[in-house]
Amino acid sequence: MGKKDEITLTNQRWKAIFSNDTAYDGAFYYAVTTTGIYCRPSCKSKLPIREHVRVYVTAEAADQAGFRPCKRCKPDGKRLPDEEWISQIAGFIETGYAEPLTLNALSQAFHGSPYHLQRTFKRIMGVSPSRYIQQVRMEKAKELLLHTDMSVMDIAVAVGISNAAHFATLFRKKTGCTPTTYSSTYNPQHIGR
């Protein structure tokens, strides 16, 4: 697939996207580079930043450029299996744990209602999205406590929790000891200090 399959985001097309104009459905598809998802112009998902939008003539072209069909507007005419949808969201959490992730932010980025996302995520992953976010953050925090010399404050921020006291509480709940104790007990550089 060449560059020819991508077409220009003209003002007219941009207007079709931000006004959710159904008249343009089928005429083009737009993909969002930050989420990796593509939509029909009429999709009522959150309006992306214009610079992040790529436009394709066909759904196949968007697919082959590496984008995935939106669950909400189903631009490829197929329904994305729940397992695949949830694994995309889990993957997003695993790489984006440093960001302020909320159920609302996830539901906007992945085009499903917060209620539906919460229920489907829990059914497939066995834990709620917020619990999963917390698990991922605590695992990353453990890694940093074990393998770096970063302060607890810096680690809290690095895993997306700006409040160090809140971080320490969560960490203790999860592991049974404070971040400092964990580091001095298990970090090879700190043992015996």
Examine the residue annotation and report whether 43 is marked as an active-site residue of this protein. Answer: no
3-state secondary structure of 12: helix
Query: Which listed residue (39, 43, 70, 73) is catalytic?
Result: 39
As a whole number of angstroms, the distance between CA 153 and CA 23 comes to 52
Contact with Zn ion (CB under 5 A) among 45, 88, 134, 183: 45
167-186 footprint of Zn ion as x/- string (CB under 5 A): --------------------
Question: Does 68 engage in binding with Zn ion (CB under 5 A)?
Answer: no
72 scored as a contact of Zn ion (CB under 5 A): yes
Residue 53 interacts with Zn ion (CB under 5 A): yes or no: no
CB of 71 to Zn ion, least distance (A): 7
Closest CA to 110 of 133, 84, 135, 128: 84
Q: Tell which residue, 21, 3, 176, has the closest CA to residue 11.
A: 21
Six-digit token string for 39? 């939509």
Q: Which of the ranges 15-23, 66-74, 94-102, 141-149 carries the binding residues for Zn ion, by CB under 5 A?
A: 66-74
Report the distance separating Cα 62 and Cα 66, nearest Å: 7
Sign for the CA dihedral angle at 109, 112, 114, 116 comes to negative
Give residues in contact with Zn ion (CB under 5 A): 39, 43, 45, 70, 72-73
- By annotation, the residues acting in catalysis are 39
